[in-house]
C-alpha cells in the first residue's frame, strides 16, 4: 500500500492529537464536539477531510460499523477490533490473544493490517 503524504496544517495536528489521545473510536462528530468544547473552531467538513487524509497516510484506521457509521482509531500496534452487531460498540482486543492466527498468516506470507471481528457483546448477547 502506497502511503500518501498530505500537508501538515495546524488543524490537522489538532485533529490528529485529539484522536491519538482517545481510546473510544470516535466519529468525526465526536471529534468536532470535543474540539468545540475546547473552543477550537474546526468545521465538521474539514475534520472529515483531515480524517480521510490521515487514513490515506496510514496514521488512522477507519472502522465502519454494521449501521454504516464511520469511526476512527489511532493506528496502535497489536490490537484487533470487536464490533457488536447489535449496539455498534467497538472494543479493542489485544492481538496477543490471537497469536496462533498471527502465526498462520505469517506462515502463508500474509501481513495483517486490520482485523475486525463482529458478534454480540456481553451486554447484547442475552
pLDDT at 5 over 70: no
Q: Residue 105: its pLDDT value, please?
A: 80
pLDDT at 79 over 80: no
Count of domains for the chain: 2
Using the structure block, give the residue that is written with the C-alpha cell 468525526: 28
Model confidence at 54, pLDDT cuts 50, 70, 90, reads very high
Q: Which are the contacts of 83, defined by CB distance < 8 A and separation ≥ 6? A: 63, 65, 66, 89, 90, 91, 116, 117, 118
Which residue range(s) make up the domain with 93? Answer: 79-119
Mean per-residue pLDDT for 60-72? 89
The packing angle between helices 44-56 and 28-37, to 10°, is 120
113, 65: one domain: no
Assign residue 64 the CATH number of its domain.
Answer: 1.10.10.10
Among 107, 80, 110, 106, which Cα is nearest to 92's?
A: 80
Assign residue 100 the CATH number of its domain.
Answer: 3.30.1490.190
80-117, pLDDT tens digit by residue? 889 999 988 888 887 777 777 778 888 898 877 777 88
37, 84: one domain: no
83, 69: one domain: no
Query: Does residue 44 fall inside a structural domain?
Result: yes
61, 39: one domain: yes
pLDDT at 4 over 70: no
- Distance CA(39)–CA(6), nearest Å, equals 25
pTM for the whole structure: 0.75
59, 104: one domain: no
Among 12, 89, 24, 22, which Cα is nearest to 54's?
A: 12
Give Cα separations from 110 to 6, 94, 101, 105 (angstroms): 28, 19, 11, 5
pLDDT at 70 over 90: yes
Amino acid at each position: 500500500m502506497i502511503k500518501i503524504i498530505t500537508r501538515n496544517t495546524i488543524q490537522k495536528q489538532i485533529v490528529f492529537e485529539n484522536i491519538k489521545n482517545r481510546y473510544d473510536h470516535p466519529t468525526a462528530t465526536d471529534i468536532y464536539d470535543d474540539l468545540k468544547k475546547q473552543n477550537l473552531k474546526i468545521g465538521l467538513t474539514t475534520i472529515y477531510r483531515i480524517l480521510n487524509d490521515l487514513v490515506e497516510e496510514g496514521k488512522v484506521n477507519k472502522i465502519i460499523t454494521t449501521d454504516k457509521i464511520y469511526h476512527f482509531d489511532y493506528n496502535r500496534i497489536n490490537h484487533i477490533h470487536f464490533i457488536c452487531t447489535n449496539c455498534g460498540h467497538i472494543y479493542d482486543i489485544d492481538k496477543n490473544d490471537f497469536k496462533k492466527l498471527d502465526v498462520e498468516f505469517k506462515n502463508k506470507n500474509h501481513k495483517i493490517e486490520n482485523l475486525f471481528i463482529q458478534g454480540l457483546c456481553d451486554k447484547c448477547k442475552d
